Structure 1
Amino acid sequence: MITNSLRRTRDIWVWPLFLVLLLVLLQAFGDAGREWLRFDRAAIAGGQWWRLASGSFVHLGWYHLLLNSLGLLVLVLLCPQRLPAWVWLRRLLLLSTGMGLFLYALVPWLQHYVGMSGVIHGLFLLGLVPQLRQRDLIAAACLLYLLGKLAYEIIAGAPVSDEAALGGHVITESHLYGTITALLYGLMFGSFTGREKGTAPETSITQTENKQT
């Protein structure tokens, strides 16, 4: 739980940090790497289906990457759950692919897309709802903020200042569809009720740590 956050251990940081390093490595390839991996509607229609997922792992630039890396940092702080590597991998691949499919099917005007923010929105949903079930008030407030942010973006779109800083158009649809994909994922794998294989409720983690001290 967020309210037990001081008891979190180092191992919850391993795979998020590995993900950040991967994103940095891909960004280091510059324009060539971005063009090869980005969501590209014409290329996807031509059979390059990997772009449905890979577009989430490249960014417009270093500032865009920094913002999403900070998002992952906040994710770990607010959702301190130990997840094995294969659960992280499954979540990343299914959320990025599902979001890409939604964008391809429901946003026909979108030709190109890059960025991890849609997936991060989905990861927040997967991390906050189980804590809400444990009556964590901070998690409840964070979840309300997440839903309010999505509603605001649907109505008003992204702030112009954000787009100016990023140097590109913010695809708010990715945030919505990343969250919807996470909802479907959570219902399918039991993430919201603690039944997802490889995961454990935060209360059991805390109890384990108490036994070791």
Structure 2
Amino acid sequence: MRSELPAVILAGLLIAMPALGIALFGDAAYTALRYDNLAMTAGEWWRGLTGHWVHLGREHLVLNMLSLAILTLLVGPWLGPAGMLLTAPLAAIGISAAFWLLHPELFWYAGLSGVTAALWAAGAIRGFRGGSWFAALVLLALVAKLAADFFTTAPVSVSQLIGGPVVIQAHLYGALAGVCIGLLLPRPG
């Protein structure tokens, strides 16, 4: 697994690059690419994918990039580079489908946190399937994080920091997508 670490880090960078590139174009890119259910109804279906790589501002982007970096190092070796590169877009599509079907009142969304939850879950599931008991602890940490999301209110400071509300459903749907993906990927080793 350690020999695969450079490829895993490269996969993490490839997942991050669209977000970093989009950020260079500022508000115009945000408006054109965020998840927006009214625009999607009008045929702009790509927003179901691109909305996960746009951010509300620099602080939001930095927080999501830090999460991605930590998860790349923590669960990336269990997923491998191909698993990471498969999980990210599939999870984005799954999260957006859940928004579309279950939350029509959610008019817009932006951010990579749902996708990072998917990577977290898929990696931990795959690690556990490969025999790592530490992966079970990593999965329990995700369950605790999701419970905290749903049973406590997000500090106002987080919403102020990122420039908008925290959409905790993205974390849940990302984790569920990640579990499914982690179970469908071939058993490691």
Structure-1-length-normalised TM-score: 0.80
Residues 159 and 37 of structure 1: is their aligned pair in 2 closer, same or farther, counting only changes over 3 Å?
A: same
- Does structure 1 retain, via aligned residues, the 8 Å contact 2:126–2:182? no
Gaps of 5+ in 1: 195-200, 205-213
Larger radius of gyration: 1
- Does structure 1 retain, via aligned residues, the 8 Å contact 2:7–2:81? no
Question: Quick check: 1:16 aligned with 2:12?
Answer: yes
Q: CA deviation at 1:63?
A: 1.1
Say what the alpha-carbon RMSD is for the aligned residues: 1.9
Structure 2 matches for 1:175-194, cutoff 5 A? 175-187=171-183, 190-191=184-185, 194=187
Q: How many residue pairs get matched?
A: 187
Structure-2-length-normalised TM-score: 0.89
Gaps of 5+ in 2: none
- Does structure 1 retain, via aligned residues, the 8 Å contact 2:95–2:173? yes
Question: Quick check: 1:172 aligned with 2:163?
Answer: no
Residues 186 and 9 of structure 1: is their aligned pair in 2 closer, same or farther, counting only changes over 3 Å?
A: closer
Aligned amino acid, residue 119 of structure 1: V
Question: Quick check: 1:102 aligned with 2:105?
Answer: no
User: Which residue number in structure 1 is paired with residue 81 of structure 2?
Assistant: 83
Q: Identify which of 18, 26, 32 aligns with 1:36.
A: 32
Question: Quick check: 1:153 aligned with 2:149?
Answer: yes
Q: Identify which of 97, 117, 124 aligns with 2:120.
A: 124
Question: Quick check: 1:65 aligned with 2:36?
Answer: no
* C-alpha distance in 1 between matches for 2:134 and 2:85: 27
C-alpha offsets along residues 146-180 of structure 1, whole Å, 9 cap, x if unaligned? 01111221222422221121111000010001111
* C-alpha distance in 1 between matches for 2:50 and 2:91: 11
User: Which residue number in structure 1 is paired with residue 46 of structure 2?
Assistant: 50
Q: CA deviation at 1:22?
A: 2.4
- Does structure 2 retain, via aligned residues, the 8 Å contact 1:157–1:172? no
* C-alpha distance in 2 between matches for 1:94 and 1:10: 23
